[in-house]
Structure 1
Amino acid sequence: MDQLTGSAAAGAVAYLAIFELRTALVEADSRMLRDSEGLLLSHVVALGAGSSQLVTYWASIDHYLSSQERIEAMLEDPPCVQGRVSQIASPPKPWWRAVKPTTLVLSAAALLGALEVLTNRYDRLFAEPQLTLKPDARFELTEGDEIRRTVTLRNQLPATGHSDVKLRASWEAQDAVGQSSQGELQLSEAFIPLLPGGDARELVIEGAAPGPGIYKMKVSASAEAGLLRGARSFVAPDVSFRVWARDPRGQVVYVNSNSVQAQYALRVQIGEPASKGLDCNLEIRGIPNLRYDARFYSPVGIYRDGDGLLTAGQEKDVVSILTWSTGPVESRREIQMELTLAGTSDTNWRDLAKDALLTCEARTEKLDEANR
């Protein structure tokens, strides 16, 4: 098939005329065909053995009739086939062939842009607050010290800011009978109007240390993100901390007993270092017939004043005193000494631990090595 002329896109084909060609078409013939009004398409079909045909398609029979004489005179023959065209069919074209590459590229860019806009709008409207609070690790203080710690606040949303960020810090303790106590701590920034997406702040927590004991430091925050989302609260992991008494503190703890003797743990907490050791005194009131059996153990060096209990008074007014000294003790430590006492079968060994008074104080002079 060759020598295509005209445009099939001008409209639907209404009439067909086919002519036998005696000779090949020349340029003048092709020009005349192109100038024919209503000609939609013309082409030559090579039939083999040197014969060929000219096929023409017309917008209407009227258009064909207006040009019929000229074409028949040019070709020196009437059409061998002519008639109205109906029931034209062709295979469906795949949609992707009907779309131009530029259209695909522009459509993809528009879709991506729309998705980005929707995502940004969604975050601004519906994003749920996502904050993390990471405080310092556990720590120790001495009575009278100031608390000064840090906590890192981070916005986990990369592109969405958090507004109205409110923070709170406090300490809390629970005593042996379950009663809790707490106190407020100060933050370098307790309110942040806007924390941008992906941003982080290191905040300072300050305040006076509570009395001696074991505590938990608590940090919490609340914030808003999407306009149509409410505020959400966040809680940091609790941080344990201990406050040591500045002066030594003693405690007598019952361990076990039989009918005539008992074992006790003597615990002493030291906040400030006792570089020259401690002088300790155990006072027991109202328990007669007590004896110290010379069994006394401590992880630090011990010097005892005498070989037994110093006792004064009678019966319920009796006072028994045991004194000793220790070697050097580092700061913020708890030392434990094991003591065994003997008595009678009617001795209330548990009440002894409750009523006994253990006191220690740092030595001002170095213990004489000869007396150890």
Structure 2
Amino acid sequence: MRVAIVHEWLEHYAGSERVVEQLLILFPQAELFAIVDFMPTAERAMLGGRAVHTTFIQKLPFARGHFRNYLGLMPLAVEQLDLAGFDLVISSNHACAKGVITGPDQIHICYVHSPMRYAWDMQAAYLRQGGMQRGVRGLYARWLLHRLRNWDVRSAAGVDVFVANSSYIARRIRKVYRREAVVVYPPVDTQRFDATDHPRKDYAVISRLVPYKRVDLVVEAFLRMPGKVLHVAGDGPERERIAALAGNAPNIVLHGRITDTEVLHLMQQARAFVFGAEEDFGIAMVEAQACGTPLIVLGRGGARDIVREDGESGGPTGVFFNHQSCDAIMAAVAEFESMEARITPQACRANAQRFSQPAFRQSMLRVVEQAMHDLRPFGVEASCDA
């Protein structure tokens, strides 16, 4: 069976690239396609030495540093990828990858990290953050996003099977494309983390410091709980504002950017991992659980698939707060402390294994086998290394 894997763009080894990495392990014979490939040499191990087939955008002026400015051309570019002769096409989509053109005898499975948030329900927020609410730039952006929405819906018709990375994204797929999706959680390298017997006394939040992550809200809540220490790790455009917010408060410890080893130690020693953002999935939450660390997180988005509440099979692994407010976070911390003895590191660690790399490969293999059984035109057999 000839397999093509189509990814949006290769720039850094991040969350969506980890999905591609596991797909390449599952299908070692696959060929890889992308709109552009500017991944640094030091991060290319995931490709296994494969050549990457790219589009004309790869050679456009200033593409290396500014390829996102060519967003309006990406639907055209991805439609030019020649996938003739492949039996199975798997697209890794958060923008345009699902728009590849396939024939009636080809099966197209689309793994959706998220429909284009900036074109759909988060358009207003993106325009506001980009300073494009008014003026000529704002008018052009709205026109472009309108065209992208039309194309996005039309191109969904070319997908045979949608796979969502969480129940939340499955609901977004249903809302935007009016299609049902199978949920396959993204792969997390849970073996890189483990629990320790180190005493746990402080709380932690580890995140990119950008507005929607709402780290500021977590800091504000702990400023109102001076007896509880919060460690904040991460960097980003919000760093100075969060530092100013924390001031000289002795219970707020700012670490800035830290190494992977330091992340591991901080998670292992945290009494609980606190997170205030609505995420499509939430890999950092799973990594915390793999360290045996409980979660205190916003009860929306992908977090609903991750945390096991009190009374669920396997035992609780954290608590939710349902509003992005200081009062809600403070109440959740109090609830957590009242039931902390019932949340064990063993339960958290076991829960994390649901999201492991082998679990991802096994789930994706089942999806492919089912699609080949239901849709294959000439009895082509799947050939995978799970």
Q: Fold match, TM over 0.5? A: no
The structure whose Rg is larger is 1
More helix, by proportion: 2
Per the normalisation by structure 2, the TM-score is: 0.20
Greater relative contact order, per chain length (Cα 8 Å cut-off, separation 6+)? 2
Per the normalisation by structure 1, the TM-score is: 0.20
More strand, by proportion: 1
